[in-house]
Structure 1
Amino acid sequence: MGHRQLERWFPGITDDLVSGGARLGKGPAIQFYVDGALKAPVDDAQMIGATRPFLERSVRKHVGSLPGVRFVTGRASGLLLPHNRVRGVRFRIEGDGAAHELEADLVVDAMGRSSRLGSWLEQAGWPAPSLERMRVDLGYATASFRRNGELPDTVIAHSSPGPASNYQPTLSEPGALTAVEDNRWAVVLVGYAGYRPTRDPEAFLARMRRCVIPLQEVAQTCELEGGIDTFHFHESQRRQFTPLPRFPGGLVALGDAVASVNPIYGQGLTLATLQASSLAAHLRSGANPHEPARGYFRRAEVVVDAAWQLCTTADLAQPHVTGPYPRAYPILRWTADRIVEASVTDPEINRVFMDVVNMVQHPRALTHPRILLRTARRLLTR
């Protein structure tokens, strides 16, 4: 869905990315494995293989080409909030030392998961949004390999543990590779708690050799370029804006400043684009940007709730994740396990499953009677 949103806002950006070296994967070029088994292909699936910096440079270039756009580089230090409306921001420019002010009709907090917006609001006498957390203790490591002629029909290969391994990475090695710009493979390995990957190249390659065939082949035939970068993601979190009794006008928050979910599911960029679409819909509705943007936050909450439900329900399958558990979690978990099992061999179920993971459809699509009935038939006849 993030890809669709970018193409809607910037027609032709896909062609620009591909001409710059990104790969466009379609149908069987996109491979998802569960417990080592290749899932049924989704013929109309389409995903771009590119590194995040490459994608962000392209988006920045397209935004910069819009009329009236000007970039100012500095560090935000506070809000201009004299009364009931945010009228701009304070910021400092590196090496300058002086404080600057930038007036605005609408200020967007995109400062990420460490956003300081809550403390700024409290300093000005406003309530701060509450913060909901779920500890996941994820570790992941990324590496780059020289891409030659291997795996010519593969753009993305993704492996994850499933019901057969009780979702344990120690039993079914999780990882992914993507064909990206500059003739490289981008590889990521993940693990939880004490099974987090390290910077050791030999250990990294050993884990790749325990993964699915595409990652095995890259480990055996391709040259590792540079070092290995490791990251630790402690917890998913989201800020609750809609329950606030008061909120100033002229201000919204977006992206990780609202919600930051487990990156293993690859939904962060899509979630940000959908929140941006929520903001666009809010402003197109005729809403006054000087008034509290409650309509925007309600729209964005629908998107965030869907991602949060999907990610946290899956994370609760890990034994070290201790909740909070949603109502009827055992039933939800049992049903989800059966759908995952059926999605391995049933193309239609897998298409809906991937649409939900890619945020093209809401998670409720997986509980549609047609999908549940098809799942039951598939599992009874296997």
Structure 2
Amino acid sequence: MTESMVSRYEKLVHAGPPGDVPVLFDTACVLGGSIAGLMAARVLSDRARRVVVIEPDDTSAETGSRPGVPQDQQVHTLLPVGQRWLERWVPGTTRQAQDRGASLVADQGTTVINGVPQAPDGEGHHLLAVGRPLLEALLRNRITSLPNVSVLRGHATGLQYRDDAVSGVRYDAGAGGGQGGRSEGVLDADFVVDAMGRSSRLSNWLKGSGYDQPRIERLEAPVNYATARFARPAKVADLETPGALALFTPEYPSSGVSVAAVQPIEGRQWIVMLMGYGDSRPGRTIGEFREICTKLPPVFATATAGAVIGDVMTYHQAESRRRDFTGAVRFPARLVSVGDAVASFNPIYGQGLSSAALHASCLASYLADGPDLGTAAREFFRLQQVVVDAAWAVSAGGDAARLDALHGTEVPDDVRQQRWAMEQIAAATLVDGDVTRAFNSVSYMLRHPATLADPALLAKAVAANGTAAPVAG
């Protein structure tokens, strides 16, 4: 990755709302009202006289689970970069979440690798521990309360075009709109954002209209989640350890658990997650769940000692995937995609919410640069690819290394050397706060992964590992 890409990434991270800007569109339409779609709607609210979000799910229940987000009952963490961006575009979101019982948890000492805590990085980062339904509801209420943003309940069924540009969205309000029969219509739109998630139908629509489909890249990453919630009698301020993320290398004995996480969330609850790769499916029952947690850092046993709230919620994801829109030669103008519709990763890396926020940053930057709206949004997709590549390097790179290790796969020398370097840096986070700082800046999506390729950083990590006791695995 070139230095210019690193600079572009960091420019996106530090960008803010543009202030008083000219209106570019009469009507903008966002397909999907999840967090990526809501953030896109917020950006477009400064650029369009009217923003319509077409969402098939009933969102009237403020914090209820939605069929369109099957993973919303699993652990979600808002990384520092995501917090920054939500606060820039929707100020006060963090405070509102805390007022509703969410927790702003300091990250110092909360990450444990093979039973050993990371060395403090001195940065004072905090992670927002919040249930996904609550965070989404807070954003939805704030953004849809803007005078020019509205929600149309229904299913988007296709696009209309004029002069090689999107000119409208076909939709079916039908049962989704609460009406007795089908209610098909067309919403005239000057700009459209696809935020339909992993199952986005945009590629099929493009192919059916004679446009290029974005090439899709897939990486096997079979992950199995088991998540349970437990009563939390103590206030967060009274907890000795307010949360933890436990990571295990493939060689480390961990009852089939590759990753475990525990967080204090709203409703005076603990939410606890166990994750296994491949055939490993830990924690399917409460008994097994609690037994495994006794072998993890003490906070896990503390969290699971309380009364169980609800059932164990499982989630399986077979692969990570991303779509390359930059390679599409024939593509309609006034159309972009964001969020999981572009790239979806192993959720354990916590990149989904923050990536959605950064995709909104890409959209804002693209519109601020005076684009030619009569041609495909190639500059937007180039900006977005910087964010997607960064997230993919962290999550897909880690998953590929784990799967190759599990299967004994031979890898090219250059890949083996890159992985060795990352292993050195990860191991050094247990003993050297400077290395932890650099590593966490990338993990938290504050800096581009290419910054970890600094030879001086690797030398420091190797030296730290040479003087420290070896870590199991």
Class of the TM-score when normalised by the shorter of the 2 chains: over 0.9
Asked if the contact 2:283/2:292 (under 8 Å) is kept, the reply is no
Amino acid at match of 2:425: I
Amino acid at match of 2:111: F
TM-score, length of structure 1 as denominator length: 0.93
Once the two structures are TM-superposed, the CA of residue 377 in structure 1 deviates from its matched residue by 2.2
Once the two structures are TM-superposed, the CA of residue 153 in structure 1 deviates from its matched residue by 3.8
In structure 2, distance between residues paired with 1:168 and 1:89: 52
Deviation larger for 324-333 or 68-77: 324-333
Asked if 1:5 is matched to 2:85, the reply is: yes
Query: CA separation of 1:267/1:260 partners in 2, compared to 1, >3 Å: closer, same or farther?
Result: same
In structure 2, distance between residues paired with 1:356 and 1:310: 8
Once the two structures are TM-superposed, the CA of residue 169 in structure 1 deviates from its matched residue by 5.2
In structure 2, distance between residues paired with 1:133 and 1:324: 20
Asked if the contact 1:27/1:42 (under 8 Å) is kept, the reply is no
The percentage of aligned residue pairs carrying the same residue is 36
In structure 2, distance between residues paired with 1:46 and 1:69: 31
Asked if 1:261 is matched to 2:345, the reply is: yes
Asked if the contact 1:238/1:259 (under 8 Å) is kept, the reply is yes
Residue 76 of structure 1 corresponds to 156
In structure 2, distance between residues paired with 1:8 and 1:132: 32
Once the two structures are TM-superposed, the CA of residue 189 in structure 1 deviates from its matched residue by 0.7
In structure 1, distance between residues paired with 2:331 and 2:184: 26
Residue 132 of structure 1 corresponds to 217
Once the two structures are TM-superposed, the CA of residue 214 in structure 1 deviates from its matched residue by 1.1
SS at match of 1:242: helix
Asked if 1:211 is matched to 2:290, the reply is: no
The correspondence of residues 52-131 of structure 1 with structure 2, limited to 5 A, is 52-93=132-173, 94=175, 95=179, 96-131=181-216
Once the two structures are TM-superposed, the CA of residue 216 in structure 1 deviates from its matched residue by 2.1
Residue 59 of structure 2 corresponds to none
Which of 361, 369, 372 matches 2:455? 369
Residue 159 of structure 1 corresponds to 246
Amino acid at match of 1:154: T
Structure 1's consecutive aligned runs of 4 or more residues displaced over 2 angstroms after TM superposition are: 153-156, 165-174, 288-291, 318-327
Superimposed CA distance per residue, residues 70-115 of structure 1 (whole angstroms, 9 cap, x where no aligned partner)? 1111111111124401112111112340211111111000000111
Deviation larger for 128-137 or 287-296: 287-296
Amino acid at match of 2:151: F
Asked if the contact 1:105/1:289 (under 8 Å) is kept, the reply is no
Residue 259 of structure 2 corresponds to 174
The number of equivalent residue pairs is 378
Superimposed CA distance per residue, residues 284-303 of structure 1 (whole angstroms, 9 cap, x where no aligned partner)? 11114443100000000011
Once the two structures are TM-superposed, the CA of residue 278 in structure 1 deviates from its matched residue by 0.5
- Provide the aligned C-alpha RMSD in A: 2.1
Unaligned 5+ runs, structure 1: none
Query: CA separation of 1:287/1:65 partners in 2, compared to 1, >3 Å: closer, same or farther?
Result: same
In structure 2, distance between residues paired with 1:34 and 1:128: 41
The correspondence of residues 186-335 of structure 1 with structure 2, limited to 5 A, is 186-197=271-282, 199-219=284-304, 221-316=305-400, 317-318=402-403, 319=405, 328-335=414-421
SS at match of 2:429: helix
Query: CA separation of 1:172/1:129 partners in 2, compared to 1, >3 Å: closer, same or farther?
Result: closer
SS at match of 1:177: strand
Asked if the contact 1:160/1:173 (under 8 Å) is kept, the reply is yes
Amino acid at match of 2:383: R
Query: CA separation of 1:288/1:234 partners in 2, compared to 1, >3 Å: closer, same or farther?
Result: same
Deviation larger for 318-327 or 104-113: 318-327
Once the two structures are TM-superposed, the CA of residue 173 in structure 1 deviates from its matched residue by 5.3
Query: CA separation of 1:120/1:16 partners in 2, compared to 1, >3 Å: closer, same or farther?
Result: same
Query: CA separation of 1:232/1:70 partners in 2, compared to 1, >3 Å: closer, same or farther?
Result: same
Once the two structures are TM-superposed, the CA of residue 224 in structure 1 deviates from its matched residue by 1.3
Query: CA separation of 1:237/1:326 partners in 2, compared to 1, >3 Å: closer, same or farther?
Result: farther
The correspondence of residues 326-365 of structure 1 with structure 2, limited to 5 A, is 328-365=414-451
Query: CA separation of 1:168/1:130 partners in 2, compared to 1, >3 Å: closer, same or farther?
Result: farther
Which of 6, 10, 18 matches 2:98? 18
Amino acid at match of 1:218: A
Asked if the contact 1:130/1:241 (under 8 Å) is kept, the reply is yes
SS at match of 1:86: strand
SS at match of 1:127: coil
Asked if the contact 2:113/2:248 (under 8 Å) is kept, the reply is yes
Asked if 1:38 is matched to 2:122, the reply is: no
Once the two structures are TM-superposed, the CA of residue 312 in structure 1 deviates from its matched residue by 1.6
Amino acid at match of 2:184: A
In structure 2, distance between residues paired with 1:320 and 1:201: 28
Once the two structures are TM-superposed, the CA of residue 210 in structure 1 deviates from its matched residue by 2.1
Amino acid at match of 2:214: P
Amino acid at match of 1:147: R
Asked if 1:48 is matched to 2:128, the reply is: yes
Amino acid at match of 2:118: K
Unaligned 5+ runs, structure 2: 1-80, 469-473
SS at match of 1:226: strand
TM-score, length of structure 2 as denominator length: 0.76
Deviation larger for 307-316 or 106-115: 307-316
Which of 257, 268, 271 matches 1:183? 268
Once the two structures are TM-superposed, the CA of residue 324 in structure 1 deviates from its matched residue by 11
Asked if the contact 2:255/2:282 (under 8 Å) is kept, the reply is no
Query: CA separation of 1:363/1:324 partners in 2, compared to 1, >3 Å: closer, same or farther?
Result: farther
Superimposed CA distance per residue, residues 350-373 of structure 1 (whole angstroms, 9 cap, x where no aligned partner)? 121111111111111212133112
Amino acid at match of 2:309: E
In structure 2, distance between residues paired with 1:124 and 1:264: 37
Amino acid at match of 2:344: S
